[in-house]
Structure 1
Amino acid sequence: MTDLTLSDDELGLFTDLYELTMLQAYWAEGMHGSAVFSLFFRHPPVHRNFMLACGQEHAARLATGLRFPRAQLDRLETIGLFREPFLRWLEAFRFSGEILAMPEGTPVFPHEPILEVHAPVAEAQVLETLLMNLITTETVLASKAARITLAADGRPVMDFGMRRMHGTDAALRGVRAYSVGGIHATSNVLASLRYGLPASGTMAHSFIQAHHDELEAFRTYGQLYPGTTLLVDTYDSMAAVGKVIRLVREEGLQIGAIRLDSGNLAELAHQARAHLDAAGLEHVQIVASGGLDEWAIRDLLTGGAPIDRFGVGTEMGASVDAPSLDLAYKLTEYDGEPRLKNAPGKQLHPGPKQVWRFSDAGGRYSHDEITRRDEHRDGVPLLTPIVQAGTPLGEAPQVTAGRDRAWAAIARFPDAMRELEAPAAPYPVHFSDALERLRRETVAGLGY
């Protein structure tokens, strides 16, 4: 193990301190009643008309393997807060509960549970940090990737962002999320091999700089990698395009594309396309990169820039405009009794829930309803069991299935939901009358 790795044995300690101090308090009081916790967000990040729920099935499966080996408990004991009998109890910890979740790639809206945990209170409580960390990262990145994919309007997008992402874990799992969000390829070799997204890349400016002659650098690279993409903006972009044309026409090199990485991309793309077409190289594509996000991509395409593919790095890898998601993991039932939080701006509906998605006569999604779990509707239920009695159900989720589900669903939403700007009215999400009534009764029972 290296410092870059979180081992399976350490997973139980990957948590906030108060999770473990609360566990000891539950244990000390003999509180072992069954609890329901719901994971959701109250407000979408800026410019997000929907979020793509991502990572929840993987997180749930990981949670079932949570353990506290003796060697890790010896480390925990050095903090000085935990009693030996409690540590022995932790050593025997096994998750025994049920987890329901939306399938990966499901578009989700405020207040809708992405995931619900039903388990003895200590078992459900200790999962909070792990679940929130995993689901936040992948949902934020999948949602950003979906916006960029929508802006590209069918043109392939490549991930170039790993060098500027927040650590190795985010760079790896980000590629999994990007795939669900519709990205076509990644420069991240390990993530490509792990998650099956095609590996793609060009060259760095340093390769050109290391040669005495740009033409020779192009020739060497083109001969070694037929069909490659050549980076043309190291010195003079149009002069470099001329060298690419010469190598293809006079020497028969197979060049698939040129890449523009700086300057006025729209203007340079028009000039490059004109030069390539005049030389009979209509098949050579143009790739654009360099500080791109969904807004820049949309502006390029709206302006008619002849760009065939996009490479997106920092803006997607760090989701620069909206890098966080204010997920909440809240207790909604304990020992069969409804529980809620009633703080201003953070009101909570109690009880286990279901989310139903409805379609209009034309097959477009029209609205969602959040109900008590025991209610039934004619819509499609979005929360399904993925863990029962502490055991994952079925096979691990496939990235391709999440991507297919996401884009089939996105196509069925009203057109305004696929725009980059917020629609005049958000997608309708309602609470059922029974759930509203339960909330009122629970608040009244508090006696405040």
Structure 2
Amino acid sequence: MDNLSMLTDLYEFSMANGYRQTIDDEEGVFDIFFRKVPDNGSFVICAGLQQVVESLKDFHFSKRDVDYLRSLHLFKENFLEYLSNFHFQCQVSAIPEGTPVFPREPLLTIRGPLLQTQLFETLLLNIMNHQSLIATKARRITFAAGDKPVMEFGARRAQGPAVPLLVPGQLLLAVVQVLPTFYQRKSLVFRQPEQWLMLGLRRFQMN
């Protein structure tokens, strides 16, 4: 997976830079949750955890990234040096992939240095919001279809070529029977999960 450290808002860098100058040793804890099930649904299928883990394991800032941030003349040098030597120091707890979840229930909790948890905010929300949305929609479709097979043709309307390569894993969570796009099937890295998982927390420790 490509390094996604720069998939974020300038706001996140501004906040993290401020933390570096003032409360560098503070711990931060962030929960990802949602307030309302979309489209008057009953629950949401938690999805995106595999991509989250892969993204965090590869999270770093290249020399080119840091040079670009330096060119903005917005950040202190000690913050840019921190990014150059970035090392993941957080702990992630999450509900297992494919679990039905409900409003205001933490899907994922990340705990660690406040500066780092701030930098992850946009990326984690981007992944889990989209993947859970697709998995939930697919589950509703397959439930309505009953025993009839369901096919996925989302690649033609997906916003960019990367999206249809990530979506099939969430469709498997929802038990879609047919994936027509050859490249999706060839590159699929998600293992077939159980159709339903017990509610609970699974902890991932990444050093």
For the pair shown, the structure with the greater C-alpha radius of gyration is 1
**1:96 match: secondary structure:** coil
Match of 1:165 in 2: 158
Query: Quick one: structure 1 residues 152 and 381, their matched pair in 2 at CA, closer, same or farther if it must change by over 3 Å?
Result: closer
CA shift in 2, pair 1:110/1:47, >3 Å: same
Pairing 1:333-372 to 2, within 5 Å after superposition: none
Code of the residue aligned with 1:77 in structure 2: it is R
2:103 aligns with 110
Aligned twin of 2:51: 58
Tell me, yes or no, if the aligned pair for 1:36 and 1:119 is still in contact at 8 Å.
yes
* 1:38 and 2:38 are equivalent in the alignment: no
Q: Secondary structure at the match of 1:110?
A: coil
Q: Equivalent residue of 1:118, what SS?
A: strand
- Kindly indicate whether the alpha-carbon contact (under 8 Å) linking 2:100 and 2:199 is maintained by their aligned counterparts in 1: no
Q: 3-state DSSP class of the match of 1:178?
A: helix
- Which of 111, 124, 133 is the equivalent residue of 2:126? 133
Whether 2:4 is the aligned partner of 1:186: answer no
Residue equivalent to 1:155 = 148
Report deviation, 1:65.
2.0
Q: Is the 8 A contact 2:45 2:136 kept in 1?
A: yes
For residues 235-269 of structure 1, give each alpha carbon's deviation from its aligned partner in whole angstroms, at most 9, with x where no partner exists.
xxxxxxxxxxxxxxxxxxxxxxxxxxxxxxxxxxx
When normalised by structure 2's length, the TM-score is 0.90
Aligned: 1:383 with 2:201: yes
Alpha-carbon distance, 1:196 to partner? 6.5
> Following superposition, which runs of at least 4 residues in structure 1 exceed 2 angstroms of deviation?
none
Distance 1:51 1:20 in 2: 31
Identity of aligned residues (%): 32
- The 2-side partners of 1:76 and 1:129 are apart by 17
- The answer on 1:76 being equivalent to 2:69 is yes
Structure 2 Cα separation of the partners of residues 178 and 47 of structure 1? 20
SS where residue 100 of structure 1 aligns?
strand
| Aligned-pair CA distance for 1:70 | 1.4
Q: What TM-score comes out, normalization by structure 1 length?
A: 0.43
Structure 1 counterpart of 2:202, which letter?
A: T
Any conservation in 1 of the 2:33–2:105 contact (CA below 8 Å)? yes
Q: The residue matched to 2:60 in structure 1 has which SS?
A: coil
Alpha-carbon distance between aligned partners in 2 of 1:39 and 1:65, rounded to the nearest angstrom: 20
In the alignment, is the contact (CA less than 8 A) between 1:12 and 1:68 conserved in 2? yes
How many residues are matched? 200
The CA deviation at 1:31 is 2.7
Q: For structure 2, list consecutive stretches of 5 or more residues without a partner in the other structure.
A: 191-197
Higher relative contact order (CA 8 A, sep 6+): 2
Instruction: Write out per-residue CA displacement over residues 170-217 of structure 1, whole angstroms, 9 at most, x where no aligned residue.
Output: 2111112111111111222221112279xxxxxxxxxxxxxxxxxxxx
| Structure with greater helix share of residues | 2
Q: How big is the alpha-carbon RMSD for the aligned residues of Structure 1 and Structure 2? A: 1.7
Structure 2 residue matching 1:37: 3-state secondary structure: strand
Provide, for residues 334-366 of structure 1, a one-character-per-residue CA deviation record: whole Å limited to 9, x for no partner: xxxxxxxxxxxxxxxxxxxxxxxxxxxxxxxxx
Output aligned runs, 1:307-318, within 5 Å.
Answer: none
Give the secondary structure class of the aligned counterpart of 1:46. helix
From the two aligned structures, give the one with the greater strand fraction. 1
Distance 2:53 2:10 in 1: 21
Letter in 1 for 2:179: T
Partner amino acid, structure 1, of 2:159: H
Query: Is the Cα–Cα contact under 8 Å of residues 99 and 199 in structure 2 kept in the other structure?
Result: no
